[in-house]
Amino acid sequence: MEAISLVVVGHLKKNYQPKQCILNDVNLRIEDAEFVAITGKSGSGKTTLLNIIGGLDSDYEGQVEVAGKVLSTLSDDELSAYRNSHVGFVFQSFHLMPHLSCLENVLLPSAFNQGKAVETAFTQQALALLAMVGVAEKAHEFPNCLSGGQQQRVAIARALLMQPKLLLCDEPTGSLDDESAGDIIQLFAKLNAEQGMTIVVVTHDADVALKATRTIHLRQCGVMEEGQCL
C-alpha cells in the first residue's frame, strides 16, 4: 500500500478580497520526516499557507489534509485538538508570554491536561526539552532575561511539548543575528535527522533553505516551483 503523505494540499485557493490573488491552485505534498523550506517574496503567501496547514485559518477553497485529517471537515473542537497535538508553531517574534517563566511558557500547551501525575510528567518533559535545546539553566527565568536566540529555543521547546508530527516555523531566524540563526537551523536539522521530525520552515534566508532537504519556492499567485532558492 502506498504511504500517505503527512501533508497533502490540493487545489488550494485563498483571497482576502475579491479579484485578489494570494494562493491560486497550490498543490503540495510533504512526506513524513521531510525538512522543507518555503521561500518566496514578501507578500507571496508563505504565512497564509503555513497558517492554513496549521489550522489557524479555515477560510479557503480546496483541500488540506494533515496526518489523514481533512481539516475542513473538523469541528471547532477537533480543529483545536489538531492545533494543540499535531502541529507545533515557531514564529519570528517568539510569542513568549513575558509574565511567565521559560518553564511555564513551555508548559502552556499542556494547560488543558489536568491532574497531578500528568502535570508532573509534563514538567519533566518540559525540563528535558529545555535541556535538549540548550537552555536548561533558564527554566525559572523570565523571557526578557534571555537573548533572542535563547528565547527562540524556549519557543521551540514549547512547540515540541505535545510531540507534534509537524513543526511549522514562520521565519524563525528572521530576528536573530547570524550566529544564533545558524544555531537554530542546526537544531532543526538535528530534530529532523535524529527524531524524524517533519519540519516546514518559511524563510527569506538562503542559508536556511540550503540546510533543508527540499525547497519550495512560492511565486506570486501561489505558483510553485520545486528546488529553487530566492
Ligand X SMILES: Nc1ncnc2c1ncn2[C@@H]1O[C@H](COP(=O)(O)OP(=O)(O)OP(=O)(O)O)[C@@H](O)[C@H]1O
Q: Alpha carbon 145 to chain centroid distance? A: 24
The rounded distance, in Å, linking the Cα atoms of 64 and 228 is: 24
Strand 166-170, strand 198-202: pairing: parallel
Residues in the site for Mg ion, rule: CB under 5 A? 46-47
44 binds, among ligand X, Mg ion, none (CB under 5 to 8 A by kind): ligand X
Between 161 and 185, CB nearer to Mg ion: 185
* Residue 83, CA distances (Å) to 60, 78, 197 in order: 17, 9, 16
**In the complex, minimum distance from the CB of residue 91 to ligand X, in angstroms, rounded to a whole number:** 11
Q: Alpha carbon 104 to chain centroid distance? A: 20
**In the complex, minimum distance from the CB of residue 138 to Mg ion, in angstroms, rounded to a whole number:** 28
83 binds, among ligand X, Mg ion, none (CB under 5 to 8 A by kind): none
Between 45 and 109, CB nearer to ligand X: 45
Between 43 and 196, CB nearer to ligand X: 43
By beta carbon distance, the residue nearest Mg ion is 47
22 binds, among Mg ion, ligand X, none (CB under 5 to 8 A by kind): ligand X
Cell of 75: 469541528
Vertex 173 angle, CA 30 and 29, to 5°: 5
**In the complex, minimum distance from the CB of residue 92 to ligand X, in angstroms, rounded to a whole number:** 8
Strands (E), the chain: 7-14, 23-30, 35-39, 61-66, 69-70, 87-91, 166-170, 198-202, 214-218, 224-226
Between 93 and 213, CB nearer to ligand X: 93
One-letter identity of residue 210? L
196 binds, among Mg ion, ligand X, none (CB under 5 to 8 A by kind): none
Residues in the site for ligand X, rule: CB under 6 A? 16, 22, 40, 42-48
Which of the 8 DSSP states describes residue 137?
G
Between 47 and 198, CB nearer to ligand X: 47
**In the complex, minimum distance from the CB of residue 19 to ligand X, in angstroms, rounded to a whole number:** 13
